[in-house]
Chains A and B, each alone.
Chain A
Amino acid sequence: MTWDYAPAPESRAIVDIHSSYGLFIDGAFVDPTDGNAYKTENPATEEVLADVAAAGLHDVDLAVEAAGRAQKNVWGPMPGAERAKYLYRIARIIQERSRELAVLESLDNGKPIRESRDVDVPLAAAHFFYYAGWADKLGYAGFGPDPRPIGVAGQVIPWNFPLMMAAWKLAPALAAGNTCVLKPATTTPLSALLLAEIIQQADLPPGVVNVLTGAGSVAGAALVAHPGVDKVAFTGSTEIGKDLQRALAGTGKHLTLELGGKAANIVFEDAPVDQAVEGIVNGIFFNQGEVCCAGSRLLVQESVADLVVDKLKRRLATLRVGDPLDKNTDLGAINNAAQLEKIRSLADQGEAEGAVRWSPSCELPAHGYWFPPTVFTGVSQAHRIAQEEIFGPVLSVLTFRTPEEAVAKANNTVYGLSAGVWTEKGSRILWMAGQLRAGVVWANSFNRFDPASPFGGYGESGFGREGGRQGLAAYLDV
């Protein structure tokens, strides 16, 4: 028996993609000074979506100066209650235009519409709504009676959750009274530019938020190094994060980093197996595994390893890989060619090092960047696929016998962003949570996010938190 689904595509007519986009500086869309542009494409089809401005050094100057003026003259002196209302407005407009944002996000990023519609966009709105409420309550946040903003924030974000990352960066910064220059990822600029239009629609004063599209090595590097930038916030790879920390040495600039991960998802023999299998799938195949906190290492107790892996494979055979705009799609496209190449190369390494590779039979589209859901068994801790962040739909399965061994293996990594624990025993959940060196621990769940819940890493997964009261600290001079 076959289970064919009729196509159920979301209409892309709802979003009006311009043929070209300028930079958003001082409240207006402007052409880049030296006129450079590049093309952003749909990774599911390799079709060009739009021409996007590539900011140069002079554009960075203009944006940082605009942000500095706005901070000093308008946004910094403004009563918190007024800042709050602007942020609530932004949250509301994101909700009103949510379908538009979701379709655009799936087109530019390649992620399934189910996820952009149900996760990325609602969380972006929720983040603005949450931090809006802090703007006039900062004196009660535990940082003294009158905590001050830092100044101008330079924020560089990745391509895996383009809109959500923009919200995670902008909302707390603005609530605290900073102004922002945001550098979206090169391959996913469109939702940040639509957010800039939303910010215009909300009548946010000019210069409070500026968006510079372009190359990380040009616009991103110039932004973080700019003397007018007082605070740098970065989400991305540990490699780039280290470059940035090095570049900022001795400058006195504030810095927070949200970097890579290699999370353990730990399944004990008493776990509800079917629920755990769903959690494993969500942990590593959500957003094609292009998630810094992805549960990329499955640690399963030896006594149930065969059962869990069998059930996992059966479940994976039902996953639908394909058109991101189809509402039935579970796995969309890999965001870009370079990332696909990295995933392929690490997966090949896994095979070369002796791990056993398995993927369900699934037909991949002829165009675009695709990688099937993949499981490696027989993985040892020394294998590269157990140590390095793959950032793709590739799961490494390891086993353990005792809770102590699970902890030792889970913590055997330079990263420390997240972990999952599956067991029916509450006391074991809390014991494990205490032992794991990770900033977020999900019990009998995985990849849950909420604006009230602090998120961020231990060790080489970076420092600083986003979300919650703790997330304000990154944008206050404390």
Chain B
Amino acid sequence: MSEQRLAVRKTYKLYIGGAFPRSESGRSYVVVSSDGSFLANAAQGSRKDVRDAVVAARKAQLGWAGATAYNRGQVLYRVAEMLDGRRAQFVEEVAASEGVAHKQAMAIVDAAVDRWVWYAGWSDKVAQVVGSSNSVAGPFFNFSVPEPTGVVGILAPQASSLLGLVSVLAPVLVTGNAVVLLASEKRPLPAITLAEVLATSDVPGGAVNLLTGRVAELAPVLAAHRDVDALDLAGAPASMLVELEQAAVTNVKRVLRPDSVEPDWSAPPTPRRMLAFLETKTVWHPVGV
């Protein structure tokens, strides 16, 4: 037989509660490469999928936050290891999605791996940097510690399909939040492949939930959901900002607004994106004999 072997294509699905379901709506949409050629049929998530993802996230959040910081750091480091091990696949998907040359795609994947490593190290340091013991005028040991906000909805950047995605996901996850993330609408494939990495990296099922689909349809549901505590609008189109911020008012969500243009994600990160999804808890403990 001299014919070329037929490729085994991958089915791209959602990632909810640690499982890979199709959209409950049965819908899919065509994803094309930067030159317009067919790449895949991605699952077109529905409102119900968003709600299911929020339920899964809420269920997982306390357990993930309750893991020791050392443990969470190791899990994020494990994500870096797994991502690195599948670099060939990510390079191919990033190149096809973003239309960048092979060499640049390699640099993007390298940076994405390094970003997980950078954030992994923060798990047991962020409280030392932003927490405090407070000198109050009375017989109390008074201290403040950062705690995860809870369930965070993220609209991933639209252009940077892997590095942008990792740059918004890792800082929210490392501190103990659970995530419902809506992938780049036109470039969703690296996100789904990243979900496969997460599923094999000891990230508890439900701690990260990843949806693909239409931003205009799903983002308002995520923004208004009463069991979502905070919102990262990194990938929100400017035309939807007012609507999404208004929807977030239902339960006084914390909202991280996007930059006016999508930033260069290869720039060195700062703690800012972690701090946006932390609450400060202050405890007054009496001192006496």
B-binding residues in A (CB < 8 A): 126, 142, 238, 241-242, 245-246, 248-250, 252, 257, 259, 414, 426, 429-430, 433, 438-445, 448, 450, 452-456, 458-463, 465, 468-470, 478
Contact = CB atoms under 8 A, between A and B. Distances in A.
A433 B138 contact: no
Which of B136, B144, B242, B252 has most A Cβ within 10 Å? B252
B223 to A, nearest CB: 10
Contacts of A429: 285
Given A250-B246, A441-B281, A463-B254, 11 more contacts: A142-B129, A245-B248, A246-B246, A249-B246, A433-B281, A443-B285, A453-B134, A453-B282, A459-B229, A460-B252, A463-B252
B272 A478 contact: yes
A216 to B, nearest CB: 18
A246 B252 CA distance: 10
Contacts of B229: 459
Interface of B: 129-130, 132, 134-138, 140, 142, 144, 229, 241-242, 245-246, 248-249, 251-252, 254, 257, 272, 279-286
Nearest to A259: B252
A468 B146 CA distance: 14
Consensus secondary structure, chain B interface: mixed
Nearest to A416: B279
Contacts, number: 106
Given A443-B286, A453-B136, A453-B142, A465 B280 contact: yes
Contact of A249 (B249, B272, B282, B284): B249
B134 A450 contact: yes
B140 A448 contact: yes
Contact of A452 (B134, B251, B281): B134
A470 B138 contact: no
Contacts of B282: 439-441, 453-455, 468
Contacts of B279: 439, 458, 463
B284 A442 contact: yes
24 contacts: A126-B137, A142-B130, A245-B248, A249-B248, A250-B246, A414-B251, A433-B281, A439-B279, A441-B281, A441-B284, A443-B284, A453-B136, A453-B142, A454-B132, A454-B280, A455-B282, A460-B251, A461-B252, A463-B254, A468-B144, A470-B130, A470-B132, A470-B280, A478-B272
Contacts of A448: 136, 138, 140, 284
Contacts of A456: 280
Contacts of A461: 252
Which of B130, B137, B272 has most A Cβ within 10 Å? B137
A288 B282 CA distance: 24
Nearest to A450: B136
Contacts of B252: 238, 241-242, 245, 257, 259, 459-463
Contacts of B284: 440-443, 445, 448, 453
Contacts of A245: 245, 248-249, 252
A52 B143 CA distance: 42
Contacts of B280: 439, 454, 456, 465, 470
